[in-house]
Structure 1
Amino acid sequence: MDEHAETLRAVEHELTALLRRGRAVSWEVAREVHPNLEPNAYGLLLWLRRSDRIRLTDLAARLGIGKGTLSRQIRALETLGLVSRTPDPSDRRASQLSLTEEGQRRFDAARAARLEHIRRVLETWPAADVAEFARLLGRFNDAWP
């Protein structure tokens, strides 16, 4: 058997395990942010926290999802009081999305718990390995279409 093919199978296996665990953690973290929050909304909140303010079209492009789908998810977050829309100063027809103060508070608390879990998992790793792991994950994510 081709060694490269076997290595790719190993990568696929590990990614599958990581994604399975990630989905389980996403449910837990979403519930920490708000009991009625859908698990996939954590990623939206993460991007909004990083961006401060962002247009829906720009966020949809970054996440690779349709504007209609994203708009429905954002409306749900608005209903929960976690996200707000404000007019875009450069184009009054558009709006910018941002976390509300409550959304920031809840997200930051849930994120701190998630980061603590990651810290515990990686605490026995040498710092250079953790840095290399982060670099390689970033490279992989950047290459993903």
Structure 2
Amino acid sequence: MTFDEDMIAGLAREFAVFVRQDRTASGQLGRRSHPEFTVSEYGLLAHLAERGPRRPTELACHAGVTPPSVSRQLQHLETLGFVERLQALDDGRACLVALTDKGRRRAAEVQAARSRRLRELLESWPEHDVHTLAELLARFNSDAAKPSRRCSRAGEVGA
């Protein structure tokens, strides 16, 4: 199927606006939760809360950053007491990063605040439209999450 260039350009523009607004809101919610939080660090916490312990390389792939960058972020989160490193059971040389109890509480607090914000934004929408939006976003995200050349899924635990 071919798409009209204006339609694709408009969609790309709307995605960019959505991503900027979500990043700004995530940053504000994260800083309210902890003043030293960065948006990227909250993203790592949210991923760990959703997926469980992960290898640092998988977290780097998820975040779209280099392993040294994610290593610095994880060190900061570890210093704040939000994550801990565990030995991987399947490979004694590897480590997994897991949320601490404090990290799970913080991730849940920020997620609850994000849910409240989303509920407020959509309160005037008909329920059917919200349901349709959720279905379409899930379909889009599923297609977008397919393995890419940039990241190998071989390093994931429990993928």
TM-score (ref. length: structure 2):
0.80
What letter matches 1:137 in structure 2?
A: L
Q: Distance in 1 between matches of 2:16 and 2:110?
A: 24
User: Which residue number in structure 2 is paired with residue 102 of structure 1?
Assistant: 102
Matched, 1:143 2:139: no
Moved more, 57-66 or 8-17: 57-66
What letter matches 1:82 in structure 2?
A: F
Q: Is the 8 A contact 2:30 2:39 kept in 1?
A: yes
Q: Mind listing any 5+ residue stretches in structure 2 that lack a counterpart?
A: 149-159
What letter matches 1:107 in structure 2?
A: A
TM-score (ref. length: structure 1):
0.87
User: Which residue number in structure 2 is paired with residue 48 of structure 1?
Assistant: 48
Q: Distance in 1 between matches of 2:45 and 2:37?
A: 11
Q: Distance in 1 between matches of 2:14 and 2:38?
A: 25
Q: Distance in 2 between matches of 1:43 and 1:79?
A: 17
Q: Is the 8 A contact 2:88 2:95 kept in 1?
A: yes
Q: Distance in 1 between matches of 2:94 and 2:142?
A: 28
Per the TM alignment, residue 108 of structure 1 is displaced from its structure 2 partner at its CA by 0.8
User: Which residue number in structure 2 is paired with residue 67 of structure 1?
Assistant: 67
Q: Distance in 1 between matches of 2:60 and 2:128?
A: 34
Q: Is the 8 A contact 2:40 2:63 kept in 1?
A: no
Q: Mind listing any 5+ residue stretches in structure 1 that lack a counterpart?
A: none
Q: Distance in 1 between matches of 2:66 and 2:33?
A: 24
User: Which residue number in structure 1 is paired with residue 31 of structure 2?
Assistant: 31
Q: Is the 8 A contact 2:26 2:114 kept in 1?
A: no
Moved more, 20-29 or 132-141: 132-141
Moved more, 23-32 or 93-102: 23-32
Q: Distance in 1 between matches of 2:70 and 2:96?
A: 13
| Total equivalences in the alignment | 143
Q: Distance in 2 between matches of 1:80 and 1:21?
A: 27
Per the TM alignment, residue 25 of structure 1 is displaced from its structure 2 partner at its CA by 0.5
Once the two structures are superposed, residues 53-105 of structure 1 have per-residue CA deviations (whole angstroms, 9 ceiling, x without a partner) of: 11112222333332222111111111111111111111111111111111111
User: Which residue number in structure 1 is paired with residue 155 of structure 2?
Assistant: none
